[in-house]
Amino acid sequence: MAFELVKFFYAEVPGARVRIMGASLVSGLARGMILTTINAGAAAVMAGQFEHRHFAAFIFFVLIFAAANYYALSRAQIMVEEMTKRLRMRISDKLLYTNLRFVETQGIGDIYARLTTDITRVARSAIKFLNAIQNVVVVLFCLGYIGWLSPIALGCTIVSIILGLAVYLAQDRRAVAKVTAARAKEAEFFTGIKDILDGYKEIKLNRARHVAIEQGIDDVSADYRDLNVGAEILFIRGFMTSQIFLFGLIGVLIFILPQTLPDVAVAVFSFLAAILFLVGPMENLVTALPRLSKARVSLTKVRELEAALDANVSDDENRESVVRPLRFETLALDGIGFEFTEAGSDDVFDLGPIDLEIRRGEVLFIIGGNGSGKTTLMKVLTALYTPSSGRILIDGRPLTPMDRQAYREMFSAIYNDFHLFRRLHGMQDPDLGQLDRLLSLLQLSRKTRFEGEAFSTVSLSTGQRKRLAYAVASMEDRDIFMLDEFAADQDPGFRRFFYNDLLPELKAKGKTVIAVTHDDAYFHACDRLIKMDYGRIVQETDYSDGVAPALIARDGALVDPSAEGEQVKEIERRRGEEQ
């Protein structure tokens, strides 16, 4: 256990490690010298003498102890906080460079726990470890002093310490298993709290769901409590056992040994002082062991997360802080394939093979039923998913891993599960006048405004949030707009505005628009439409001449895509009955 932590601290803790360790050792030695000075001074006083050198030595070693201990602990605290920051930033950096599938499948609660509780616990254990070094030095000094007084007393002391430590370690192994299990329950608890915050509205509307979630969190909390209590009780048993052995040792040295070995009787006072000096450091060592055991469990979790991130981070991607987007005339998917297994399921979703060419300045619609692969195709198109087969071609040139980020920079995407930031992250000196015009155009100027460095609020309706996300995307001014069911949450008036005004405006600016939609009445607003089913493109329809084809195949029926009357209503009615 100690070796793993020492190796980790040496690798991770920045700064003057040698000086801190040296100061800690000096502090321990000075504390030991205080013992010898006290005993020597006490012996002189009992002999009717008072020697100033003993008093001067006592003051000297106390000052050395205080100065060295203050330096070691204060510098260690600074280094520990720096280590905490470095660890969190390093793992966060790897998290930002890992692939999307890892983030989607990894438990969010588990990531939270490792970035917060585990890293903090490991970092704080460094102080405990430094104190343990001091206490080990004092213990060794006291043992040496007892051995100098009496080899037999030293033997008794060592036997007592070994027996106490053996019992403690036996309890510690069982306790660590409980700590590991408690750590897993803590991650479950974080996940449960995230469910409450993310699904608060749904919980408030359903008391049965409220009770079930509350009961689930209560069960997890109870398991966490029981495991922690069980672990702490085992640690307490080990601690009490070590205490009993120490008090037994005092009894032997004070009451029994002088009776059997008269020559030892004259050293009883010195034994007592040495043992009393020994008790404090031994207690500190024993109480530090549970913290170090928990730190070892947390260290394992942190390393597991970092190893998983390393396995999912591409080393050959561009890591520059400024990446300029690629330019293109055509973007093509050549035999692209991608497959994955949903978390908690044995079903494998297989996308492709996909062959698709997208031209600069065109409006492409993607349609298809739920689970047909539309969103997966969008994530592959934006290089958030790395294809398992096939190639992405930019003007006929295969996309390389080094160009992948520059390729992503071509896109502004509003996914169905998008996140809306309050700040305009990554925009240097944004044109706030343009932003105000966009907010007015999108009928948001009375709902939110940009104040200082952030929007006054993003607590808007889903449709309004999407429109605000569109305003931010327009400010980014990327070449390709990727919109996932953007109009689905808009009122009819704004839906018409989106298809009849915003899309033609983007096209006029030379922007490429790729939109997932189910709005049959507005299919004529695109240049081309593709239909997805079971992860494949099963149909492609050309609207580029501005005239909608007379008929297209959809849901097993032939319908007029531009119809807004009874035909569309009939299709929607049939869909409702099927659902």
Cα within 13 Å of Cα(485), Cβ side: 14
* Fold of domain 2-311: ABC transporter transmembrane region fold (1.20.1560)
CB-based contacts of 435: which residues, under 8 Å, 6+ apart?
450, 471, 475
DSSP 416: T
Report the chain's mean pLDDT, rounded to a whole number: 80
Phi, psi for 284 (deg, rounded to 5): -65, -40
Question: Residues 309-364: pLDDT tens digits?
Answer: 888 887 777 788 788 999 999 999 999 999 877 655 566 788 879 999 999 999 99
- Tell me the sheet residues that pair with 435: none
Question: Residues 362-400: pLDDT tens digits?
Answer: 999 999 988 888 989 999 999 988 898 999 999 999 999
Query: 2-311 and 330-419+478-548 share one CATH topology?
Result: no
CA distance 344 to 266: 73
Per CATH, the homologous superfamily of domain 330-419+478-548 is P-loop containing nucleotide triphosphate hydrolases (3.40.50.300)
| Strand-strand pairing, 528-533 and 512-516 | unpaired
Residue 74 above 70 pLDDT?
A: yes
Beta carbons of 27 and 68 less than 8 angstroms apart? yes
Total residues belonging to the chain: 579
CA distance 110 to 184: 8
Q: Does the model's pTM come out above 0.85?
A: no
Question: Residues 487-512: pLDDT tens digits?
Answer: 888 888 899 999 999 999 999 999 99
Q: Residue 381 has what pLDDT?
A: 93
The residue extents of the domains of the chain are 2-311, 330-419+478-548
Cα within 13 Å of Cα(174), Cβ side: 14
